Amino acid sequence: MYVADSRSSKAPVAPAETRPGRREAADGTGDGPGTGDGRRTADGRRTAVRAAVPGTVVALGVVSLVTDISSEMVSAVLPLYLLTGLGLSPLGFGLLDGIQNGFSAVVRLLGGHLADRRGRDGASRHKAVAAVGYGLSALCKPLLLLVHTVPLIGAVVAADRTGKGLRTAPRDAMISLATEPAHRGRAFGVHRAMDTAGALLGPLTAFLVLRLAGGPLLADGGQQQGYHAVFAVSGCVAVLGVLVLLLFVPNRLDAAGTSEGAEPPSDARPRLRDGLALLRIPGLRRLTVCAVLLGLTTVSDSFLYLLVQRRLGLSVEYFPLLPLGTAGAFLLLAVPLGALADRIGRRRLFLAGHGVLLLAYGLLLSPLDGPAVVVCVLLLHGSFYAATDGVLAAAAADTVPAERRGAGLALVGTGQALARFACSLVFGALWSAVGGTTALTWSALALAGCVTGAAFVLREPAAAAAAAAPGGPAAPTTDDSEVPS
């Protein structure tokens, strides 16, 4: 397992004075066909694919696939369990849904910071911090069997999201450090596709478990046995994901390694507050502001599925199947859109993805009706995730030094998560006050304004525009590749 990872590691580090040559290789203007060291091979295309998707990325993708099956089993039934089974109001559910994003955001910076700190042997702690996060989430799944009140369920959900916050930045840092800069969009696309395969299988597994458990659901006047069966199976699957991580995913950085032309790490350990100083990097600052703007108007998945279910009048029995449409589109489009982002620019595709989300809102608000409309909404919703989720991480990785990669990715993710936390609270309050349709209308109008504002924030600098002009020097394919030393 370690041999496969070492073969697909990043390109050799260029000396500081030749660092521009590394950028040339990254954007595909060098002589090599994508082998990572500039050498030609008889089968250049196949070698380029192997270089674009290192073994570490595949192993982490398997971990995410298994873990997402576990998480989505719970997420698929939890809204229905709380709203129709326990009688929680939309405002209360908005608060609980916001807690999921809020707790994840609070600890994400901590997870990125801890992962960047090196142990006494000089090795990074990306894998160790990620393992703690995955383990905490696995522990929370069986706890849902023991809690039956909204406050206790909220506490368990908060702990689960804490685990997610701890693991996200270290995991994405390992992906970026294992992959050549020119192929990061594709690598993140592969990982997100595998992750989404778990999201696709999770609701389906929950649906089958509910059917096999026997008896009606709580919403139909039945007992809790079906939901308890989902929580129990989810816990077992989560443990399997932790085992895969521990056995098959090595750390990307070791005591002797530096990465991507960065200077050797100093002996001084980074402080938590030093992470905020990374916002001085122009590219990272622009991406963070953009993520916050758009996150403020991104309605949570749970609310979107509830709107779809109520518009069609679907039976509660089929509610867990709604995320399958989103997951299916995400799975099919994550890799091609990631590769497209490597070619046309990651910021540009990120903005286009939010335009696709705006189309989904418009369809849901339109007078059109029928199953075809709902299918289109779910497909657009999945396309939005395929064009934004991994693409944002790949764009952020281009702007941050390797030794602070975890903290930099955590900054962008935290800003986005906190913004979505606020959106869940506001949308839940609006739904309770004026109804779901009106709340979605206001959200769509706000999203249109934020997309315009984000396009202004992420506009290309004058130097980049001049480079792209006819006769100008070739511009790199990454949007913010000016990684400071």
Residue 5: name the closest of 248, 286, 205 by CA. 248
Residue 288: its pLDDT value, please?
92
Say which residues have a Cβ less than 8 Å from residue 444's Cβ, sequence separation at least 6.
Answer: 358, 361, 362, 365
Angle in degrees, CA 180, 183, 187, rounded to 5:
100
Angle in degrees, CA 360, 386, 423, rounded to 5:
55
Rounded Cα distance, 203 and 320, in Å: 5
Give 269's DSSP letter: P
Rounded Cα distance, 56 and 436, in Å: 43
Dig out the tokens for 153 from the structure. 């369920």
Q: What does the chain come to in residues?
A: 485
Residue 309: its pLDDT value, please?
83
User: Which residue is it, tokens 């997309």?
Assistant: 451
Dig out the tokens for 43 from the structure. 């089968």
Angle between helices 184-213 and 323-344 (to 10 degrees): 180
The pTM of the full predicted model, rounded to 2 decimals, is 0.75
Buried (b) or exposed (e) across 418-444, using 16+ Cβ within 10 A? bbbbbbbbbbbebbbeeebeebbbebb
C-alpha 316, offset from chain centre: 28
Dig out the tokens for 26 from the structure. 């990254």
Residue 224: its pLDDT value, please?
60
Residue 484: its pLDDT value, please?
37
Rounded Cα distance, 92 and 78, in Å: 13
User: Which residue is it, tokens 């990651």?
Assistant: 346
Determine contact, residues 213/320, Cβ cutoff 8 Å.
no
Residue 108: its pLDDT value, please?
85
Determine contact, residues 387/350, Cβ cutoff 8 Å.
yes
Mean pLDDT, the chain cut into blocks of 10 residues (485 residues total): 39 37 37 37 48 81 94 82 71 71 76 78 78 93 82 84 89 90 91 89 86 57 66 92 89 42 46 70 89 92 87 72 85 93 92 95 87 88 93 90 86 87 87 90 94 83 41 43 38
Is residue 376 helix, strand or coil? helix
Dig out the tokens for 29 from the structure. 């203007």
Residue 261: name the closest of 26, 14, 10, 9 by CA. 14
Dig out the tokens for 458 from the structure. 């992420």
C-alpha 118, offset from chain centre: 25
Residue 254: its pLDDT value, please?
42
